[in-house]
Amino acid sequence: MLLVELGLVPTQVHNGDGEHNYKIILQNKNWIEAQKNCRENHTDLVTIRNEFENQLVHNAGKESNTPFWIGLRYNKSTQLSWFDGGQSNYTNFTTTTIRKDTMFTYLNDDGSWIQSNTPENASALCYESFIHVSKHKMSWEDALNYCNESGLLRIESDEDQIETERELQRQKISGPVWIGLRQSRLFGFWIWVNGLNMGNWSNWKGGRQPEHQKSQYCGAMEKVNDKFKWSDKDCNTTFRVLCERR
């Protein structure tokens, strides 16, 4: 297969919380080169938020016979940080002491993490986000056409919200950005662009959806008091757009 010849082996892991799409890069690169490769060809070096994801990453990296890079790096100003903007307090280092002179992190063949103070060459694990962010601003109607068959982004669970926030933080976007929500002007209920009702899960600013007749009809997401929340906006206003990536 051409992918194998290029040193790129795709791994998709499906589970009850959604889809994790990882790409193992078998070419030996230092951490900086690995991150650049991931950002240019995929989304970023992988982020790990919990034990479940650590096991998924461990399984996805079994094509590599050596430890491989993940997206955790020590930064003297922010200390330990995931460079895609993901937030997590979970760690799985081989020792309980985190050395502040070690900059880069590998995942070992047993799933544990190893610190390294030199950007040596190794394989890397990238991930693909299910979210595409437009480069340009546009109205909600233009956003609908821009996303085309893949559709404007639907956010229907805590897991969807976490992944959306991760991508916005990675791209340093605080919003507003268009999402796939729109209100019926006649009946006042909010629906997703595929025609489905919102369901039981929502994330409105202030904890409740905008009142009918007072609403601005189109749904966006923006940072409010340091948290990403849904809000109603004038449909003709131009924002960047979140699409489902296919």
Each residue's pLDDT tens digit, 8-59: 333 433 333 445 689 999 888 888 899 999 989 988 898 888 888 899 899 8
What's the rounded Cα separation, in Å, for the pair 40 and 11? 18
State pTM to two decimals.
0.71
Do 110 and 154 have their domain in common? no
Higher pLDDT pick, 78 / 45:
45
Out of 128, 154, 179, a domain closes at: 128
Out of 128, 143, 163, a domain closes at: 128
Do 111 and 26 have their domain in common? yes
Do 137 and 76 have their domain in common? no
Do 42 and 139 have their domain in common? no
* Exposed e or buried b per residue across 48-87, where buried means at least 16 C-beta atoms within 10 angstroms of its C-beta: beeeebbebbbebbebbeebbbbbbbbeeeeebbbbbbbe
Domain count along the chain: 2
| Overall average pLDDT of the 232-238 stretch | 94
Do 76 and 170 have their domain in common? no
């990238």: which residue's tokens? 126
Most confident stretch, 56-70, 94-108, 110-124: 56-70
pLDDT of residue 18: 43
Do 135 and 108 have their domain in common? no
Higher pLDDT pick, 51 / 80:
51
**Host domain of residue 158:** 131-244
pLDDT of residue 136: 95
Token digits of residue 176: 């507003």
pLDDT surpassing 80 at residue 200? yes
The percentage of residues in the chain with a pLDDT greater than 70, rounded to a whole number, is: 80
pLDDT classification of 121: cutoffs 50, 70, 90: confident
